[in-house]
Structures are given as C-alpha cells and as structure tokens.
C-alpha cells in the first residue's frame, strides 16, 4: 500500500476532458475539508515547469502531489484522493478496495485502457473563457 498523502493534495486533471472534469466536479462537491486542491492542466495559464513533470506526462495519466512533494500516479492518485474522505464513505471503501491485490491489478489494467482512449473521448463543448473550461467556478 502506498504511503498515505500529507494534505493538502494537489489533484491535476484535464478540464477539457468531459469524463475527467465530471469526476473532479463530483470530488469538488463533496466535503473534503480543504484537503484537495484542483489544478486544471488544460488551462492556458497552467505551467508544469515547477513540478518537473512535462505537460505530456500530466496529460497521459492522473497525477496528485501531496504537500511534501510525493507524487501519486493513475490508480494511486485516485487512492490518494479518496484518503481525503472519511473511511465510512463510499470513497473510503473504494480506497480500501482498490488496494486489494486482485482488484488493484484490474484497476491498473482498466486505467491503462482508459488512458489510451481518453484522447478520443468527447471534449467539453461549453463556452470556456481562454479556451479552458473552468469547472467549479460560477459566472457572476
């Protein structure tokens, strides 16, 4: 099992991907006590340089980075996100389940398949300022 994250955890997601953005919107709506910070890597202002990770690498698979700089990738990134929620919730259950050896193997295979087809999935078509959808923000 990976080392639990030290919060806050920065969650890097592609806001132009409809599936990715929908998933992140669900996490944003849940009470996480400020333990999760969301970073849209499709935003024109996003600069991957400070993280020492290329934009292509960020785009290829899910990344989450905790306050100590520990990086969680793909399935482990989701596991780290789920640690922000109480163990008694669905996300707490998923966090325990996804680390079981057989389940983890299947989750990794499923994630690899998703990562390969993600670029072919529908993009968000909403009107977006600056070419990037800003989920979680309301227009005033």
User: 137 lies in a domain?
Assistant: no
User: 140 lies in a domain?
Assistant: no
pLDDT digits (tens, 9 = 90+) for 30-75: 999 999 999 999 999 999 999 999 999 999 999 999 999 999 999 9
How far apart are alpha carbons 30 and 71 in whole angstroms? 23
**Residue 121's pLDDT band (boundaries 50, 70, 90)?**
confident
The whole-number pLDDT of residue 16 equals 92
* Alpha-carbon torsion (51, 54, 59, 61), positive or negative: negative
The whole-number pLDDT of residue 126 equals 53
Mean pLDDT across the stretch 72-86?
97
Mean pLDDT (the chain, rounded): 89
Is the pLDDT score of 131 beyond 80? no
User: 45 lies in a domain?
Assistant: yes
User: 81 lies in a domain?
Assistant: yes
Domain count of the fold of the chain: 1
pTM of the model: 0.84
User: 64 lies in a domain?
Assistant: yes
User: 4 lies in a domain?
Assistant: no
Question: Residue 96 corresponds to which tokens in the numbers above?
Answer: 């325990």
| pLDDT, greater one: 121 or 113 | 113
**Residue 111 DSSP SS3:** helix
Q: Name the residue among 62, 60, 65, 89 with its Cα closest to residue 78.
A: 62
Residue whose structure tokens are 């399935």: 75
User: 53 lies in a domain?
Assistant: yes
Question: Residue 124 corresponds to which tokens in the numbers above?
Answer: 């968000």
The whole-number pLDDT of residue 118 equals 87
Domain boundaries, position 119: 9-131
């Amino acid at each position: 099992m990976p080392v639990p994250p030290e919060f806050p955890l920065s969650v890097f997601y592609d806001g132009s991907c409809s599936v990715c953005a929908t998933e992140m919107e669900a996490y944003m709506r849940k009470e996480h006590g400020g333990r999760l910070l969301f970073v849209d890597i499709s935003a024109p202002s996003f600069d991957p340089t400070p993280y020492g990770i290329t934009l292509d690498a960020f785009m290829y698979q899910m990344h989450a980075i905790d306050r100590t700089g520990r990086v969680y990738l793909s399935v482990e990134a989701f596991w780290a996100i789920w640690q922000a929620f109480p163990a008694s919730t669905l996300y707490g259950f998923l966090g325990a389940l996804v680390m079981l050896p057989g389940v983890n193997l299947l989750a990794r295979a499923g994630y690899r398949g998703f990562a390969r087809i993600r670029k072919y999935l529908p993009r968000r078509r909403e009107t977006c300022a600056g070419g990037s959808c800003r989920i979680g923000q309301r227009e005033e």
